[in-house]
Each structure stands twice: as C-alpha cells, then as structure tokens.
C-alpha cells in the first residue's frame, strides 16, 4: 500500500519556471447573437506547491478559466487564442491550448498532471457506479495498475482523505455518503495519480461551514505533503484570505487585479477589488442603518410567540420543542447548518406545514391573539396576508411565465384588493419602493439579475402590508456586492413599514449585519438564543462556539486554525430520545 | 429482494382472477353468443339452422348455463389441469391453438425488437452527441417520417413494391410449399426470406420513436457534472460516453419491458392482418369477432399475465442496474 505522504518527491524543477503559465487566454462562446467572450486576455501563472485563488462574482468567467486549462469547456465554448503552458519536470513545456480537446495528448494530462474537483459533489459523482469504481478508473487508466492494485490504492486514498472504514466505503455509492464525505471522495479521486496541479472549482460552496473548514484543512495538508499546486476558485473572500498565496480577481472575464493575498486584502489597487473587499468587511459588523436606530422596545408585547413547537416527519424530528418570541419591529435571526430545522421552522410559522405539536400565538394589530398552529380556513387566509415569505432561490421562486407586474400584483388581485389601473399604480409604487424601475414591469423574470429578482420577491412579499416577513436564506444565492444591498433594502423597508423579520440564514456575517437577536438551531433544537452581538462574538453554547470558530475570517493575517473545533454532542443527549 | 419478489408473485394471483373474470364478462357483454355468430355465418351461405339445432349446440358448448357457472368451470379447468377450454370455431383445444401461433409471434417480435434496438440506440446516441449536425438533422427527418407513416400503409406500399418490382413472394411467413411442412433447414431459410419485410415494417415506427427517446435521454445526461468529472479524469470520449451517460440513459428502457411482453400478442394487429402473418394477433381479433369466448378469454388472460410478469421483470432489472432503487 503506497501512501501519498511517503511517495518519493518529484524531481526538482531544473528551471525556476512556474508550473503553469497562462498567457493572453481568450475563451469564447459563439451564440446566436454573436460571440460572447467569457475569458478575455487573461494571464497568470501558478508556482509549484502554491495556491492561487481565482475570485469573482457569478458570471466573472472563473469557472470557464479553470475548464479552459483542461479543455473541458462546455459546448459551444472554445479557446480562441492565447497559450496555457504546462512546464513539466523534465524541462519540456506543453501548450495545452493548442491540443485537440478530444485528443490523446490532453487526455494524458487530465487526471494525471492536472486533476479537478467540482462544486456539487453529489452530481459530480455518477449515481450508479460505486465510489471505488470511479477512483480506480483513473489509476487503471494513467498508472496502468491491475484491478487489485488499484483497489488497494483506492482504499489507501480514501483513508488519507479521512473517510471512516475505507474498506467498506469503497463499495458504496455517492448517495450513501454525506455531503462532506462525497467531497472527500472527489478529492481522493482527483489525487489518485498525484497530480502536480489540483483545480478546485468552488469545492466547498455546497457544504456547511464546519465541513468546509475540514475540507480546506485536508486540501492544504495534502498539498504540503507532496508539493502540489492548487488553483482554487471561489466567490468567498473569507476562504481566499485563509488559503491563498496569490489572488486573481476576475470581473466579466477580465483580470481586475492579480497579486499576493496580502496586497489584495490590505492594499487593493483596483476599485472593483476594493468594492469586493469592502462589501465583505461590511458584513463583519452591524449595519449602519441599525446603528442609527433607537434601541428596540423590549417591553412591548411580542408579535409572535412560539411555544414548544414540534414538527416531525415520521421518525425525523425536524423541530423539537422550540420556543422563541418575536417583538414588533425586531429582526430575529435563525442560524444553523443544513438539516438543523431552520427552514422547517419558517415553513411551520407560515403554516406551509401543520406542526405536530405546540402553539404559535400571533398578536394582531387590534390586539387580539390567535394561535397560528390551530386556525384554518378564512382565519388562516387572513393571517397569511400579514405573514409573508421571501424565498432563497430568486430563479425558482418567480413564475417564468408571468410578467413582473403580474408577479407583484398577484396577491392584490387574489385578495380582491385592487385591479385595473389602481393595481398598476400600486405595482409601480412597490417597484419604486424596492429600487426597481417601474417601466420594466411588463418584462418577464428572466430579464432580471439575481439581485433584481430577489427585489421582485421582496416587492411581492410587501404588497399586502404584512407585519411579519419570514426570509428563508433570502440572500444566500446572491453575490456579496449585491447581498448587502438587498439586506439594506430589507432594513429600509422595515423602518418604513414597521415590519418584523424572521431571518433564516446559515451565514453568520449576514446575521451579524442584520439581526437584533439570534436563535441557533442544531438538529431541530434551539440551543441558544440571545443578542446578535453576543451570539456572534461570545456565544455560550459549545455548538455555537464551534460554528463561529469554523467561519473563515476575511483577513490573511488571521489564519489561526488552532481555535477551530467540531462540536460533538454530549453522549448523554445522544442517547436521549430527542437527539435524532 | 427475495421477499419483494415473493410478495409481488403472491399479489399476481388475485390480479389474474380479477382480470380473467372481467375479461370473461366483457366478452359475453355483446348481445348473442358464439352460436348466434355461427348461425349468422351459416345464414350468409344460405344454410338455415333451426332453433332445435341451435339449442343443442348451446347445450353442447355449455352456453345455456349461467355465466358465473361457465366462468367457474373454465377457471377450474385451468387451475386443476391447465385446460383452457375448446375453441368453438376451430374445434381444437385453446392451448394448442395459442402455442402454435406463439412460436412464430415470438420469432417475429424478437427479430423486430433486436432490429429496433440495434438501430435506434446507436443512432439516438449519435444524434445527441452530434446535436444539430447534418447527421442529426437527417436522422431527425427520418424519425418524423417513421412516426407519421401508419405502419399498415407502409406494409401495403412495401408489399406492392416487393411483389410488382422484384417479383417477391410476399405475405405470410412461409412459401406455400413449406406452410404445412415439418421444420427443416429449407423451411428455416424460407422463414428468413419472408421475415425481413414484416420486421422492417414493424421496426420503422418503433425505431423512429426509440431514436427520439434515446436522443432526449442522452441530452438530459450529457451536460451533467459527472460527465465533466469523467472527462477531467482523462477518459476518452467514447469510453466515458458508454460508461456514464449511456448507462444511465438506458434505465428508462428497462421500464418498457413491462409493455413489450403483452405487445407480443396484441401489438401490430393491423400489420399482421395486412401481411397475412400467422401470428397471435389476427387469431385474437378473429376470436373476439366470432365471440369464441374461451379462446378470447385465454388470450386476455395471457396478455394480463405477461403484463404482470413483464412489470415484475422490469422492476427487478431496474433494481439490479440502479443502486439508488436497490438501496434506498
């Protein structure tokens, strides 16, 4: 059994050339309407054993850059000009851009010299082949190993990426793995032939922060162990600050700034980089709008009081005895990792689910109190006018067959409040309120960007003058520069309309920026509730402490991993019936 | 898995009883019975049957008894000694009649199935991989023609062309000298020379639709990230195509086995009649028209059994090839 750590070091470079040199790369997509340049005159190089982070917002061309290197650009994209020089240990250089994308030469580079891992580990692994099958494939192909050798090697690889019980895990399928394990398996697969360069395309975006931290640690450990270079693509400046040696900032296919990580974060030259860093740092503190507000009246009667709410799906306790209250005008954050039950909580409040047990006392404007968990029919309909929701996915939550004015006006129409000209005026006013140009109201959602669509979703939520808005990961799908604009909009509307928010998010930065109080959820239970400042900076519960410790700080000078730890549930609670 | 199969087999029994009873009732629903049809046939050739003879015939066939008794007698015969009854029209045991036809039906169906899959699957994959190429457009044009031309029309045209232009002996599956001859090398060869026409006709429309399905399946799978992963590993295009997207795109075809089996009997009725093929389909039609109820009942029962077995086979196969179904 060979081990990545014990493998003989590759012969030292005879020259001091970088491992990979990209010069004036242009990648184009011929479209019906003309040619779209996804990557425009891009030059950078990667040194052996170093990490280059390519950062940029969606549509910046960072993924296309990575795929150009291996010539696996999705059709109809192609490299139009430029060169991608791979300097090999024997001193020769290979221009990858000149190779035939289907030819033998580039295929022998793929997986052997340069390997790649992707964003969504579930869909990046075949659903009908075992993990072992997919790992051994590369070994058999490039290293010409026998079946038995490849299997032993694959088990050893799985062990190195810390998959428990690798002898068994090798014969299991991707869907039987957890998200973090899948990405570990992908890494094992990519590292199978000990590549000189690992390209990682947003490898941790789909993972929880604690899992992300572990995967990042794993990559950097393996990288050190055999001097592999890493090209890391991400949109998360926190991750960049933690792992990068050099940073390439991309925007609309063009390199905005390219330099050492220290320079990018502490003396950025380019205005776009400054804006990007600025919007990240902005989320490190309280929003200005909130600082200007008078303190919240904590003596007021709660608008919504949730008592012992439980929601079970069969055996699974998605919500387990949760109690929390919401004051008028307050922003209550609900934070937790995937599967913690935070979305179930939002949906139960909206009565999209019928809770298994518990009470939700909602105080109406006239002072009467109703239990949202019990009501039905007309009462529920009336309550839903006052409780509205903003969803995560700005693409999926708008009907593509309805114009924006139809989307926003629908609640008014359905409830018989306005029609015709009056409806049109209301829609125009709402669009102005959320910062959209009313003259675009006859367009369909596809004509709008992600941030604009989320504004449409918000306009739809406030049409009926609600009192509570449940925002379920409302800014997760948005780029950082857009994210705080939407958050600011939500807070401005809160001041104008006197709204209370229940703000569900996995992003502590967003919570810190936006929320007055925070509830932390873990496996269906609310483990900690407190002031946002306190929970984000000095949490009491060990789970919250672990969660906070795993968040990558957007400062390359602050790379202390030693304080990071993973929360394990005390065994007493684990044996209890409530744990799962 | 075994438990699942046993459970499914067990549930087949009540389903078969229900279907057989329903079939029996449905066949008897039209006014009159086999004797009425028989008398009508005789009358058309100017033979008159008096009421007495008719009553005697009814008594002989057991048609004078209540329907439930007839049904129970029939089912009892099947369950106790595999006796499906006697065909009124042919005056032969039903099982013999059916088996005689089933062999040729099977040959024809398998031949056209193999032709269809052998042509459609590679073409579908090619069309998807080379989307919007000239080849793709050509095959797409072919599939639209194949889908829109009714197969009996194609049968008539091809028969005309083969008979008039090439002087071929068309219709049926054998030349007249081999029709009743015992099986021999010569008869086999004769079968092959007759088989190509019905196979071609039957294959055209099913190939056309299968190409479209395969193309769509592949187009769904090709942009999936796991294909890119395989490509990034350095696999050749052909190898990765066969191992990953094709493997998954084939899964829906396994579900089609459920209706392939019953199609053996009831499919391609019109073509079989036009081409005068000695397969099961024309016999089924004839038995229904003549209200030959034991024969028709046996056919319906067989179709039903084949449907149930077919869906069981496809479920088992799906579980075998797709771990997501097997393990979740």
Show me where the domains of chain B are located: 100-288
Whole-number percent of chain A with pLDDT over 70: 95
Query: A128 and B224 in contact by Cβ < 8 A?
Result: no
Residues of chain A found within 8 Å of residue B322, distances taken between Cβ atoms? 127-128
The stretch A254-279 carries a mean pLDDT of: 92
* Domain interval for residue A241: 20-282
Torsion region of A211: left, alpha or beta (phi above 0 gives left; psi -120 to 50 gives alpha): alpha
Residue A267 contacts by C-beta under 8 Å, 6 or more apart in sequence?
Answer: none
The stretch B248-276 carries a mean pLDDT of: 81
Please give the pLDDT value at position B305. 86
Residue A419 contacts by C-beta under 8 Å, 6 or more apart in sequence?
Answer: A412, A413
Using alpha carbons, select from A231, A227, A156 the residue that is nearest to residue A10.
A227
- Does a structural domain hold residue A242? yes
What phi, psi does B144 have (nearest 5°)? Answer: -70, -40
Architecture of the CATH domain B100-288:
Orthogonal Bundle (1.10)
Structure pTM?
0.82
Please give the pLDDT value at position A381. 87
> Has residue B213 got a pLDDT over 70?
yes
Whole-number percent of chain B with pLDDT over 90: 19
Query: B324 and A175 in contact by Cβ < 8 A?
Result: yes
| Token output for B310 | 């077919």
User: How big is the CA angle at B92 (ends B64 and B271), to the nearest 5 degrees?
Assistant: 105
> Has residue A2 got a pLDDT over 70?
no
The stretch A465-492 carries a mean pLDDT of: 88
Residues of chain A found within 8 Å of residue B321, distances taken between Cβ atoms? 128
User: Is residue A322 a contact partner of residue A526, using CB atoms and an 8 Å limit?
Assistant: yes
- Does a structural domain hold residue A269? yes
Please give the pLDDT value at position A330. 92
Grade residue A4 by pLDDT with cuts at 50, 70 and 90.
Answer: very low
Interval A361-385: pLDDT, tens? 999 888 889 898 888 888 898 888 8
Give the pairing type, strands B86-87 and B92-93.
antiparallel
d(CA A88, CA A111): 15
Residues of chain B found within 8 Å of residue A142, distances taken between Cβ atoms? 234
Query: Residue A51: which CATH number?
Result: 3.40.50.300
Which chain B residue lies closest to A133 (C-alpha atoms)?
B243
| Token output for B79 | 């369950």
- What mean pLDDT is reported for chain A? 88
* A275 and A215 within one domain: yes
Please give the pLDDT value at position A150. 94
Instruction: Pick A176's closest partner by Cβ from B225, B248, B327.
Output: B327
* A363 and A227 within one domain: no
Grade residue A563 by pLDDT with cuts at 50, 70 and 90.
Answer: low
Interval B296-310: pLDDT, tens? 888 888 888 888 888
Please give the pLDDT value at position A158. 93
> Has residue A322 got a pLDDT over 90?
yes
Grade residue B124 by pLDDT with cuts at 50, 70 and 90.
Answer: very high
| Beta strands in A32-105, from DSSP E residues, in sequence order | 34-46, 51-55, 78-87, 93-95
Interval A435-454: pLDDT, tens? 899 998 889 988 888 889 99
d(CA B306, CA B295): 16
Q: Which of A127, A138, A144, A189 to mutate to test the interface with B (most CBs of B within 10 A)?
A: A127
What's the total number of domains in chain A? 2
Residue A23, strand partner residues: A83
* Number of residues in chain A: 580
Of all helices (H) and strands (E), which one includes residue A399?
Answer: none
The stretch B191-202 carries a mean pLDDT of: 85
d(CA B175, CA B72): 43
Using alpha carbons, select from A74, A397, A60, A101 the residue that is nearest to residue A233.
A60
d(CA A461, CA A470): 9
Largest CA distance in chain B: 85
* More confident of the two residues A53 and A570: A53
Give the pairing type, strands A20-31 and A93-95.
unpaired
Give the pairing type, strands A34-46 and A20-31.
antiparallel
Instruction: Pick B232's closest partner by Cβ from A70, A119, A120.
Output: A70
Residue B93, strand partner residues: B86
* A328 and A276 within one domain: no
The stretch A201-221 carries a mean pLDDT of: 87
Residues of chain B found within 8 Å of residue A123, distances taken between Cβ atoms? 224-226
Residue A406 contacts by C-beta under 8 Å, 6 or more apart in sequence?
Answer: none
> Has residue A529 got a pLDDT over 70?
yes
| Cβ atoms within 10 Å of B58's Cβ, excluding its own | 16
d(CA A531, CA A473): 20
Please give the pLDDT value at position A578. 38
Select from A253, A282, A311 the last residue of a domain: A282
Please give the pLDDT value at position A561. 66
d(CA A217, CA B80): 72
d(CA B34, CA B44): 15
- What mean pLDDT is reported for chain B? 84
- For chain A, the residues whose C-beta falls within 8 A of a C-beta of chain B are 67, 70, 72, 74, 102, 107-112, 115-116, 118-120, 123-130, 134, 137-138, 141-142, 173, 175-176, 186, 189
- Does a structural domain hold residue A580? no
* A538 and A475 within one domain: yes
- Does a structural domain hold residue A489? yes
> Which residue's structure tokens are 């090398």?
B185
| Token output for A444 | 């369909």
User: How big is the CA angle at B108 (ends B103 and B110), to the nearest 5 degrees?
Assistant: 95
How far B186 CA lies from chain A's nearest CA (Å)? 47
| Token output for B136 | 């793709």
Using alpha carbons, select from A505, A173, A113 the residue that is nearest to residue B322.
A173
User: Is residue B5 a contact partner of residue B316, using CB atoms and an 8 Å limit?
Assistant: yes
Residues of chain B found within 8 Å of residue A132, distances taken between Cβ atoms? none
Please give the pLDDT value at position B298. 86
Query: B233 and A137 in contact by Cβ < 8 A?
Result: yes
d(CA A319, CA A524): 4
Please give the pLDDT value at position A493. 92
Select from A217, A247, A282 the last residue of a domain: A282
Please give the pLDDT value at position A562. 65
């Amino acid at each position: 059994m060979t081990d990545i750590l014990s493998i003989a070091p590759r012969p030292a470079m005879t020259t001091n050339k970088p491992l990979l040199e990209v010069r004036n790369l242009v990648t184009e997509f011929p479209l019906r309407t003309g040619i779209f340049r996804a990557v425009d005159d891009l030059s950078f190089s990667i040194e052996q054993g170093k990490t280059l982070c390519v950062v940029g917002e969606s549509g910046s061309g960072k993924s296309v850059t990575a795929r150009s290197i291996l010539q696996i650009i999705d059709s109809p994209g192609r490299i139009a000009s430029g060169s991608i020089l791979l300097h090999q240990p024997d001193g020769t250089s290979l221009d990858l851009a000149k190779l035939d994308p289907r030819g033998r030469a580039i295929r022998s580079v793929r997986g052997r010299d340069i390997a790649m891992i992707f964003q969504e580990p579930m869909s990046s692994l075949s659903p009908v082949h075992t993990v072992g099958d997919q790992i051994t494939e590369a070994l058999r192909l490039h290293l010409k190993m026998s079946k038995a050798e490849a299997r032993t090697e694959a088990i050893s690889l799985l062990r190195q990426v810390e998959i428990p019980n690798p002898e068994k895990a090798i014969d299991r399928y991707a869907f039987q793995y957890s998200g973090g394990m899948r990405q570990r398996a992908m890494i094992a697969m990519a590292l199978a032939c000990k590549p000189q360069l690992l390209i990682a395309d947003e490898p941790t975006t789909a993972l929880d922060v604690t899992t992300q931290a572990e995967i990042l640690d794993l990559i950097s450990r393996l990288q050190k162990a055999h001097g592999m270079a890493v090209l890391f693509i991400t949109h998360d400046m926190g991750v960049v600050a933690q792992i990068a040696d050099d940073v390439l900032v991309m925007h609309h296919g063009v390199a905005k700034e390219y330099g050492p990580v220290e320079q990018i974060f502490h003396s950025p030259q380019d205005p776009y980089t400054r804006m990007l860093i600025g919007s990240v740092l902005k989320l490190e503190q309280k929003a200005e709008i909130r600082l200007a507000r008078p303190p919240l009246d904590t003596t007021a009667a709660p608008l919504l009081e949730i008592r012992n709410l439980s929601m079970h799906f069969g055996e699974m306790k998605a919500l387990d005895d949760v109690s929390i209250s919401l004051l008028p005008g307050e922003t209550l954050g609900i934070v937790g990792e995937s599967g913690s039950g935070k979305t179930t909580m939002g949906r139960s409040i909206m009565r999209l689910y019928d809770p298994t047990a518990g009470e939700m006392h909602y105080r109406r404007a006239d002072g009467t109190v109703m239990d949202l968990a019990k009501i039905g029919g007309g009462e529920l309909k009336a309550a839903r006018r006052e409780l509205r929701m903003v969803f995560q996915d700005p693409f999926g939550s708008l009907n593509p067959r309805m114009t924006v004015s139809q989307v926003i006006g629908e609640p008014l129409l359905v409830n018989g409040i306005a029609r015709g000209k009056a409806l049109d005026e209301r829609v125009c006013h709402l669009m102005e309120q959320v910062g959209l140009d009313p003259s675009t109201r006859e367009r369909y959602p596809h004509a709008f960007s992600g941030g604009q669509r989320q504004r449409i979703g918000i306009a739809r939520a406030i049409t009926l003058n609600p009192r509570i808005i449940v925002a379920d990961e409302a800014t997760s799908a948005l780029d950082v520069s857009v994210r705080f604009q939407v958050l600011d909009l939500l807070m401005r509307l809160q001041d104008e309309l006197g709204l209370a928010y229940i703000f569900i998010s996995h992003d502590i930065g967003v919570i810190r920026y936006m929320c007055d109080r925070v509830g932390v959820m873990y496996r269906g239970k609310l483990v900690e509730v407190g002031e946002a400042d306190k929970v984000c900076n000095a949490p009491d519960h060990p789970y919250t402490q672990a969660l906070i410790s795993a968040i990558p700080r957007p400062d390359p000078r602050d790379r202390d991993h030693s304080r990071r730890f993973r929360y394990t549930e005390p065994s007493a609670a684990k044996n209890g019936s409530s744990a799962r | 898995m075994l438990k699942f199969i046993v459970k499914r087999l067990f549930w087949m029994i009540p389903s078969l009883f229900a279907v057989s009873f329903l079939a029996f009732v449905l066949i008897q629903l039209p006014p009159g019975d086999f004797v009425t049809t028989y008398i009508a046939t005789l009358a058309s050739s100017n033979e008159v049957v008096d009421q007495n003879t008719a009553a005697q015939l009814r008594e002989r066939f057991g048609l004078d008894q209540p329907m439930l008794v007839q049904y129970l007698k029939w089912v009892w015969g099947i369950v106790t000694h595999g006796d499906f009854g006697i065909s009124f029209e042919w005056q032969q045991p039903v099982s013999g009649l059916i088996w005689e036809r089933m062999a040729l039906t099977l040959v024809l169906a398998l031949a056209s199935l193999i032709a269809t899959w052998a042509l459609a699957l590679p073409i579908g994959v090619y069309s998807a991989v080379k989307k919007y190429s000239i080849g793709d457009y050509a095959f797409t044009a072919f599939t639209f023609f194949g889908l829109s031309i009714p197969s009996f029309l194609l049968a008539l045209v091809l028969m005309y062309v083969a008979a008039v232009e090439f002087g071929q002996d068309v219709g049926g599956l054998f030349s007249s000298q081999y029709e009743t001859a015992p099986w021999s090398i010569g008869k086999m060869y004769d079968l092959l020379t007759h088989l190509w026409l019905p196979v071609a006709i039957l294959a055209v429309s099913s190939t056309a639709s299968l190409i479209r399905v395969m193309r769509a399946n592949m187009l769904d799978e090709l942009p999936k990230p796991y294909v890119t992963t395989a490509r990034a590993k350095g696999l050749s295009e052909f190898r990765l195509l066969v191992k990953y997207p094709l493997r998954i795109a084939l899964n829906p075809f396994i579900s089609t086995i459920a209706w392939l089996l019953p199609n053996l009997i009831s499919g391609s009725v019109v073509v079989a009649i036009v081409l005068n093929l000695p397969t099961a389909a024309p016999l089924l039609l004839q038995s229904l028209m003549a209200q030959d109820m034991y024969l028709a009942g046996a056919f319906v029962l067989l179709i039903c059994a084949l449907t149930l077995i077919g869906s069981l086979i496809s479920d088992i196969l799906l579980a075998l090839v797709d771990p997501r179904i097997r393990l979740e």
